[in-house]
Amino acid sequence: MTDAEYMQIALEEARAAASQGEIPVGAVLVHGDRILARAHNLRETMQDPTAHAEVLCLQEASKVLGTWRMEDCTLYVTLEPCPMCAGAILMSRLTRCVYGAYDPDNGCCGSVYDLPSDPRFHAPTRWTPEIHQAECAKLLKDFFEKRRTN
């Protein structure tokens, strides 16, 4: 499958989050061509500030792999990772992260800060932004517009 196809699966997860009243962010973690985990934001549902899609995917994938090291894995996420998620991704030794929309408020992979390029971290993760950027951004925009009108 292609990056665009995996991002479509992440978008399915984001839509599931929105249907539960969660901020619509979805993620899929892949090893080779095998999906190890897929998740969406569950902060409200779990009342857990760390229940971001990325963290939930990393946790599930580590159970499947039997290790915390995500070498040779790619994470697809619909929104640029926040500081917590970018840090978790770097610390997991994830090989690659692909994201959709930029997050001008909390993004730490180029928007507010660029944690992956900070030379003080010896992080192996490669980053690819803007896969299905418009669709990912529209899902978030529509969610927040609906939320404001309610």
Q: Which residues are catalytic?
A: 54
For the chain, list the strands marked E by DSSP.
26-31, 34-40, 73-79, 96-101, 126-128
Residue 57 · residue 28 · CB < 8 Å: yes
* Number of helices and strands in the chain (H, E): 5, 5
Compute CA distances 76 → 119, 140, 146, whole Å. 24, 16, 25
Cα gap 52→24, rounded to integer Å:
10
Strand partners, 127: 97
Cα gap 56→49, rounded to integer Å:
12
Q: Cα torsion at 26, 22, 91, 10 (round to 10°)?
A: 0
